[in-house]
Amino acid sequence: METEGTLFPIPVYSYGLWVTNLSLTPLQIERFYNKRSIAENLIGAGKNQMAFGSMLVEEFWANHALLQVAVLAHNLLIWFQRMIADSHRWKERPNTVRVWLIYVAARLLFTNNSWVLTLSASYPYQQEWRRMQDRLAVLNL
């Protein structure tokens, strides 16, 4: 409701337009297209962030398996963000997480019978990385 500078509250509306040949009531059409738009947003995110559209092969079942693996990878990334990352990273897109976390200049060394990851001295998120390592260490996996 818009109330500032008015004598009476003025309702604020949002408008949409659908052109269709479906023989449904206006309410049914609105519900149908709203569900479809949510699915299209998820598909768009998958194509742009998880490479859904670039891994096509000749066989349907192979494409189906690749899609399922990509969805699993996406879900694991979301789980990782919620369990390990700082809360301000929870809504990051997969491409951002890859740049921030995976494409990092570092060395993995095996010394004293253990693996040690040494980050580049210029990596700006070293403290955040250490907090993630600490959270990961206490998980019972």
Query: Which pLDDT value is given to residue 71?
Result: 83
Distance of CA 62 to the CA centre of its chain: 24
Give per-residue pLDDT as tens, 18-39: 888 989 998 998 888 888 777 7
pTM over 0.85: no
Helix and strand tally (H, E) in the chain? Answer: 4, 2
Distance of CA 43 to the CA centre of its chain: 12
Beta-bridge mates of residue 117: 108
Q: Where are the domains of the chain?
A: 1-48, 50-138
Quote the CA–CA distance of 12 and 20 in Å, as a whole number. 26
